[in-house]
Structure 1
Amino acid sequence: MATPRREAKILIIDNDGGSRFELNHMLQRLGVETIETASDGQEGLAKIAAGDYDLVFMDWVMRELNGHGLTQLRRDGCTVPIVATTANAILGDLKTRLAAGIDDYLSKPLLFANVDAVLRKALA
């Protein structure tokens, strides 16, 4: 059953405050009411373990724990959809990310229409 946007619980993990703010604002405009953020991978892992999220947006390149480390969640039984956000949208690298357990990706700078499409797909 689809999760209505206003009821969805979404986590944004990104070490760049401006990127977190931008995505948070877009999600609010798209009708999402429950949005939490984490400023690094370690904090993100702790929040995922403690929370019940419908979707996680995660920057692929972070200092303490990058996207490769977070994909370990898949091997640990995490089933929440994960969307990687990245400024390095190289085709081969994206295929590696998807193979590592990422459900989808968005290239930075983020476009409102692309965030809407990913949100629609993830909550279907």
Structure 2
Amino acid sequence: MSLTTSLADLSVLLVEPSSMQAHLVQRMLEHQGVGKVTVVDTAKAALAALRAQYDNMVVISSLYLPDLPGTELVAAMRAEAELESVPFILVSSETRPQVLEPVRQSGACSIVAKPFNEQQLSRALYAAADYLNPPQDIDVAEIENLRVLIVDDSLASRRHLHRLLTELGIERITEAADGKEAVSLLEQAMVDLVITDYNMPEMDGRELVEYIRTQSWQADVPILMVTSEQNMGRLAAVERAGVSAICDKPFEAGSIRRLITDSLTR
């Protein structure tokens, strides 16, 4: 993993109502060398702290908070222009997909499952650091004219991907809210890369991949699927349809960069 930011440069806002859990996580963060740790116990306090200081800030939040669930905290962050790019790490023992889905779709950096160890927390922190200051591991000259189509019904996910691509030097980015809109755009203009979600209205990711591979005049375009879908049968069907690569949500910024690099060299 290529890193450009030391954990000592990070400030962590820990949102945890349990004093015992907060103390445990704070000790792990200090052991990892995190420069500054601020602890609050409500979503309201977290938003107030972020509005006062958000530079180089990473939020680590529990799912269940006294005033708002962590899913609504991250949604509130993504709704504010200054906070929408702040990395968010959820720490939770929750496993139900329907509960975690809003976090996956929000552009969260990581979901760390309880109980967790210091190594797992460290990986999430480095992913956040990588998101804040991406390494220049792609030849800018090679991608400056890359035309990318992002297809996702989640506005937060599209914004998250758009920011990552922009920081890589990619400026020619088009967005679609579902597969049907993507088909219309693909009929009108050529693209060099499609990044799509799986679960979408009108036309889902599998149907979009099948359309591109069998009916589009751009049948050979690389297609990356970034999805929270866990059904292995559905994902296998997508692979058979001809997707170039699949990446889980939430994803690490470095993973997307590697997939883009791979797609350019095929």
What TM-score do the two structures reach when normalised by structure 1? 0.90
Offset, 1:90: 4.5
Match of 2:181 in 1: 43
SS at structure 2 position matched to 1:123: helix
AA matched with 2:186: I
Match of 2:215 in 1: 76
Aligned pairs for 1:15-54 (under 5 A) are 15-54=153-192
Structure 2 gaps of 5+ residues are 1-138
Residue deviations 1:69-119 (CA, integer Å, cap 9, x gap): 112221125211111111024544433211111111111112100010011
Establish whether residue 111 from structure 1 lines up as the match of residue 249 from structure 2: no
Runs of 4+ aligned residues of structure 1 deviating over 3 Å after TM superposition are 89-93
Taking only the aligned residue pairs, the percentage that are identical comes to 28
* Number of equivalences: 123
Could you tell me whether the CA contact under 8 Å between 2:153 and 2:200 is conserved in 1?
yes
Structure 1 gaps of 5+ residues are none
- Which of 216, 219, 242 in structure 2 is aligned with 1:101? 242
How large is the RMSD of aligned CA atoms in angstroms? 1.8
Offset, 1:33: 1.6
SS at structure 2 position matched to 1:99: helix
What TM-score do the two structures reach when normalised by structure 2? 0.44
| Structure with more relative contact order (C-alpha pairs < 8 Å, separation 6 or more) | 1
SS at structure 1 position matched to 2:199: coil
Q: Matched residues in 1 for 2:153 and 2:205: separation?
A: 12
Q: Matched residues in 2 for 1:26 and 1:83: separation?
A: 14
Q: Matched residues in 2 for 1:108 and 1:52: separation?
A: 27
SS at structure 1 position matched to 2:213: helix
Structure number with bigger Rg: 2
SS at structure 1 position matched to 2:173: strand
Establish whether residue 55 from structure 1 lines up as the match of residue 193 from structure 2: yes
Q: Matched residues in 1 for 2:172 and 2:221: separation?
A: 16
Match of 2:127 in 1: none
AA matched with 1:21: R
